């Protein structure tokens, strides 16, 4: 006979468990426990027929336990409870981004943790503790250069700051921002506190990690990002949670790293869109870092050469302290920007003759060039010259891209890949031709244009998602660039990220205009940041800086964006953008949320969104918001799913939050009612792409 637990001898604990998406925002489940459990304790609990990982959550006390509650299965002990600040961060994020606490809390823990029972966990922990004890980091740290005058002043200001402040560090590439991060980290560690460093994509910025590792060789630094194996990620996370990590360096997920003595958060390239999670809880790690700094009385250092206009505006308002490093270290100049007016070039020009000549000169001098184009593959579409057939994707409202190397037609949205047909599938015509170009074709064009008179080939390396798919492929290609085995580097925006190339003296954007006419109001901001960052890859060696150039092929050379780029004038660009945003009532002068719906038919998605708008009408909080009519996403259909979205706009953030909190339960109820044949819906707060 099984004995039912005696509810009188037990306490009731609230536990955050992974509940389905919208089963009620902020809900935790109650369980019984033999002994009181501190909030932040990890437990395993029954959920339906399964036993799952859960976290004891701070709860309103009082209610007596009920006999119907199920007991906690086991406690994962041996680890300190997750810090209270961690629970508060998760609670805040769950409310702000309109997801359940359980979903968010469990999603940001290392996945491996979900698999371990009490015994397995104890074993892992014991092994880790032993490893940590036997491998105390020692050996020699590199010697920092003495700070420049500008850096010294800035570091003084940082040291004098009251805790919990956010600083926007605006400095061109090469102005010594990273050195400031390192110095600030040093001071934080010396004060016995921990440092969190967030980077957009770790594999694209291996040097940053290397610099931190070299400077803090005597300290324990762990990384957190998606390229780690599940076991590594668990080990690193546990090291942080045990309080044994001095520094954590990671991608957006690392903003949730439990650090009991956090003193400094650095967000490098704070404008980078990859800080925003694009699925599940769509949080912004940058924005959460700012919140976390306040919560834990840690300084937050947001660094960028082209800050996001949201951060820039906050710095103007005085909410962030704005600090600047206006000069490159060593007085090196920024590359001279040369705009090629494509309307003045012969028809069919792919790469303008003066640009080809400039690259040739570089090759002759043993310098490198970087040419980028934000589109991979050979050509974005194939077409039949007879009947007009185009290589559409049968499952998406998009073209399939022609990849010449493996002669495939590939859909970049649903992944459908097929061999290129020999003849037009509609009329049998053998003459099917590519339209437009991607990086593969650009590489081919450059090889043709740059070949010497004797036919000697130039050494070109292409870096994009296709050429770097294999393990180690990216590193190998970057190594050959650094070693000087490459004359011209071709790639997508992947190559414009934080690489510290020493021999590149020319950077060229061959077709960046499309973003000038995008329907997304942030397209210009992103293009400007991309071009500035790309420019920053040239002339990183002060010796070569004077001769370095950034080339832009454009049909609109007098566009104000390019004018500002020519002068490297972020402030002027930001001011003009902010004026436009203010008059149009766009962020940062308003606040947005997006309701998205996926369905088999566009009509079903539209119907759901329209019904959602109708449920908003009677709400008190709806008076403060504007709901726009549903519209399809730019690529409306992906893998046979139709995607529509509805914009919610509000003048003030708290009013938007109030509205969403009232609206969400309506949406959950609406979804439960039959008749809305949608597959998924989601709310995206502060959406990045519109
Ligand atoms: P950013 O992060 O703004 O691009 P870095 O911190 O990487 O700038 O600095 C650019 C280059 O200048 C690096 O090679 C760095 O080692 C060097 N550097 C930075 N600060 C100093 C300094 N105070 N003295 C000498 N060299 C420095
Ligand atoms: Zn045809
Ligand atoms: Zn497709």
pLDDT digits (tens, 9 = 90+) for 398-437: 999 999 999 999 999 999 999 999 999 999 999 999 999 9
Report the share of the chain in percent with pLDDT over 70: 96
- Residues pairing with 550 in the sheet: 337, 507
Q: How far apart are CA 660 and CA 683, in angstroms?
A: 9
Q: Is the pLDDT of residue 2 over 50?
A: no
Distance (Å) of CA 12 to CA 15, 47, 60, 112, 175: 10, 16, 11, 27, 56
Q: Is the pLDDT of residue 138 over 80?
A: no
Ligand 1 atom closest to residue 179's alpha carbon, by position in its atom list:
6
Q: Is the pLDDT of residue 25 over 60?
A: no
- Is the CB of residue 179 below 6 angstroms from any atom belonging to ligand 1? yes
- Residues pairing with 30 in the sheet: 14
The predicted pLDDT at position 203 comes to 74
Q: Which residue's CA is the closest to the ligand 1 atom numbered 8?
A: 176
The predicted pLDDT at position 90 comes to 96
* Bridging pattern class, strands 50-57 and 42-47: antiparallel
- Is the CB of residue 177 below 6 angstroms from any atom belonging to ligand 1? yes
Distance (Å) of CA 513 to CA 79, 445, 446, 551: 54, 20, 20, 13
Q: Is the pLDDT of residue 257 over 80?
A: yes
Ligand 1 atom closest to residue 182's alpha carbon, by position in its atom list:
6
124 half-sphere exposure, CB direction, 13 A CA radius: 22
- Is the CB of residue 313 below 6 angstroms from any atom belonging to ligand 1? no
Q: Which residue's CA is the closest to the ligand 1 atom numbered 4?
A: 174
Locate CATH 3.40.1440.60 in the chain: 7-107
From 329, 501, 541, mutation site for ligand 1 pocket: most ligand atoms within 8 A of C-beta: 329
| 3-state percent breakdown (helix, strand, coil) of the chain, nearest 5 | 35, 25, 40
Q: How far apart are CA 287 and CA 93, in angstroms?
A: 10
Q: How far apart are CA 173 and CA 652, in angstroms?
A: 34
Q: Which CATH class is domain 7-107?
A: alpha beta
The pLDDT confidence band at residue 600, using thresholds 50, 70 and 90, is: very high
Q: How far apart are CA 77 and CA 349, in angstroms?
A: 67
Q: How far apart are CA 254 and CA 285, in angstroms?
A: 8
Q: What is the mean pLDDT of the chain?
A: 92
- Is the CB of residue 549 below 6 angstroms from any atom belonging to ligand 1? no
3 state SS of 526: helix
CB atoms within 5 A of ion ligand 2 belong to 384, 386-387, 389, 424, 426-427, 429
* Bridging pattern class, strands 11-17 and 50-57: antiparallel
The predicted pLDDT at position 92 comes to 95
Q: Which residue's CA is the closest to the ligand 1 atom numbered 11?
A: 174
pLDDT digits (tens, 9 = 90+) for 329-377: 887 788 999 999 999 999 999 999 999 999 999 999 999 999 999 999 9
Ligand with an atom nearest the CA of residue 411: 3
Distance (Å) of CA 329 to CA 169, 186, 393, 543: 15, 20, 50, 12
Ligand with an atom nearest the CA of residue 424: 2
Structure tokens at 519: 């329907």
Structure tokens at 469: 């798919």
Q: How far apart are CA 56 and CA 39, in angstroms?
A: 5
- Is the CB of residue 205 below 6 angstroms from any atom belonging to ligand 1? no
- Is the CB of residue 178 below 6 angstroms from any atom belonging to ligand 1? yes
- Is the CB of residue 148 below 6 angstroms from any atom belonging to ligand 1? yes
Q: How far apart are CA 219 and CA 136, in angstroms?
A: 8
Q: Is the pLDDT of residue 656 over 80?
A: yes
Distance 468 CA to ligand 3 centre (A): 22
Pick the CATH number of 144-330 from 3.30.2020.30, 3.40.50.300, 3.90.1150.10, 3.40.50.2300: 3.40.50.300
3 state SS of 82: coil
The pLDDT confidence band at residue 1, using thresholds 50, 70 and 90, is: very low
The predicted pLDDT at position 543 comes to 73
The pLDDT confidence band at residue 658, using thresholds 50, 70 and 90, is: very high
Mean pLDDT of 119-143: 88
Length of the chain: 690
Ligand with an atom nearest the CA of residue 150: 1
Q: Which residue's CA is the closest to the ligand 1 atom numbered 5?
A: 176
Mean pLDDT of 187-211: 90
Q: Is the pLDDT of residue 73 over 50?
A: yes
The predicted pLDDT at position 502 comes to 86
CATH number of 591-685: 3.30.70.100
Task: Give the angle 230-231-233 at the CA atoms, nearest 5°.
Answer: 65
**pTM score over 0.85:** yes
Sheet holding 247-250, edge to edge: 221-224, 247-250, 194-198, 262-268, 299-304, 166-171, 321-325
- Is the CB of residue 421 below 6 angstroms from any atom belonging to ligand 1? no
Ligand with an atom nearest the CA of residue 394: 3
Locate CATH 3.40.50.300 in the chain: 144-330, 332-377+438-583
Mean pLDDT of 48-60: 90
Q: How far apart are CA 36 and CA 668, in angstroms?
A: 34
- Is the CB of residue 329 below 6 angstroms from any atom belonging to ligand 1? yes
Which CATH fold would you assign to the domain 332-377+438-583? Rossmann fold (3.40.50)
């Amino acid at each position: 006979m099984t004995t039912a637990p005696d509810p009188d001898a037990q306490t009731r604990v609230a536990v955050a468990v992974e509940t389905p998406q919208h089963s009620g925002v902020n809900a935790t489940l109650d369980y019984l426990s033999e002994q009181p459990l501190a909030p932040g304790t990890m437990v395993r609990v029954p959920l339906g027929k399964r036993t799952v990982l859960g976290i004891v959550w701070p709860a309103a006390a009082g209610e007596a336990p009920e006999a119907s509650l199920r007991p906690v299965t086991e406690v994962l002990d041996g680890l300190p409870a997750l810090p209270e600040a961690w629970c508060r961060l998760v609670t805040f994020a769950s409310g702000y981004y309109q997801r359940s606490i359980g979903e968010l809390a469990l999603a940001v823990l290392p996945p491996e943790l979900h698999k371990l029972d009490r015994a397995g966990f104890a074993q892992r922990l014991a092994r880790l503790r032993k490893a940590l004890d036997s491998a105390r980091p020692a050996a020699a740290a590199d010697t920092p250069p003495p700070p420049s005058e500008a850096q010294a002043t800035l570091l003084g200001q940082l040291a004098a700051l009251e805790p919990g402040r956010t600083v926007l560090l605006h400095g061109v590439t090469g102005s010594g921002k990273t050195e400031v991060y390192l110095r600030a980290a040093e001071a934080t560690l010396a004060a016995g506190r921990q440092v969190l460093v967030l980077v957009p994509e770790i594999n694209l910025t291996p040097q940053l990690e290397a610099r931190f590792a070299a400077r803090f060789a005597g300290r324990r630094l762990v990384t957190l990002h998606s390229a780690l194996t599940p076991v590594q990620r668990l080990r690193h996370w546990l090291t942080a949670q045990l309080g044994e990590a001095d520094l954590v360096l990671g991608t957006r997920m690392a903003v949730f790293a439990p650090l009991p003595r956090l003193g400094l958060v650095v967000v490098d390239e704070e404008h980078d869109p990859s800080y925003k999670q694009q699925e599940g809880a769509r949080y912004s790690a940058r924005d959460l870092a700012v919140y976390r700094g306040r919560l834990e009385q840690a300084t937050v250092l947001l660094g960028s050469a082209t800050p996001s206009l949201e951060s820039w505006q906050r710095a103007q308002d005085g909410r962030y302290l704005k600090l600047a490093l206006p000069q490159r270290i060593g007085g090196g100049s920024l590359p001279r920007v040369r705009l090629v007016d494509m309307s003045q070039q012969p028809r069919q020009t792919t790469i303008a003759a003066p640009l080809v000549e400039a690259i040739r000169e570089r090759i002759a001098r043993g310098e490198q060039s970087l040419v980028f184009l934000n589109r991979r593959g050979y050509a974005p579409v194939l077409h039949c010259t007879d009947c007009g057939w185009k290589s559409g994707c049968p499952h998406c409202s998009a073209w399939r891209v022609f990849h010449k190397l493996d002669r495939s037609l590939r859909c970049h949205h649903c992944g459908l890949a097929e061999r290129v047909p020999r003849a037009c599938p509609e009329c049998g015509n053998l003459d099917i031709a590519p339209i437009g170009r991607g990086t593969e074709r650009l590489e081919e064009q450059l090889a043709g244009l740059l070949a010497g008179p004797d036919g000697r080939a130039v050494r070109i390396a292409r870096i994009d998602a296709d050429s770097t798919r294999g393990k180690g492929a990216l590193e190998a290609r970057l190594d050959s660039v650094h070693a000087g085995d490459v004359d011209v580097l071709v790639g997508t925006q992947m190559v414009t990220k934080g690489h510290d190339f020493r021999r590149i003296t020319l950077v060229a954007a061959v077709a960046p205009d499309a973003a000038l006419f995008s329907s997304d109001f942030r397209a210009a901001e992103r293009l400007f940041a991309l071009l500035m960052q790309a420019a920053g890859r040239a002339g990183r060696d002060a010796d070569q800086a004077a001769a370095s150039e950034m080339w832009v092929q454009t049909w609109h050379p007098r566009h104000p964006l390019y004018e500002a780029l020519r002068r490297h004038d972020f402030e002027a660009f930001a001011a003009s953008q902010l004026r436009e945003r203010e008059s149009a009532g766009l962020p940062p002068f308003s606040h947005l949320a997006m309701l998205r719906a996926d369905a088999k038919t566009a009509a079903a998605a539209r119907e759901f969104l329209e019904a959602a708008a109708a449920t908003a009408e009677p709400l008190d909080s709806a008076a403060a918001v504007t709901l726009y009519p549903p519209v399809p996403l730019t690529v409306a259909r992906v893998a046979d799913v139709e995607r529509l979205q509805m914009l919610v706009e509000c003048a003030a953030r708290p009013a938007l939050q109030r509205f969403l909190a009232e609206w969400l339960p309506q949406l959950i109820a609406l979804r439960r009612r039959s008749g809305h044949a949608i597959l998924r819906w989601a709310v995206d707060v502060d959406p990045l792409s519109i």
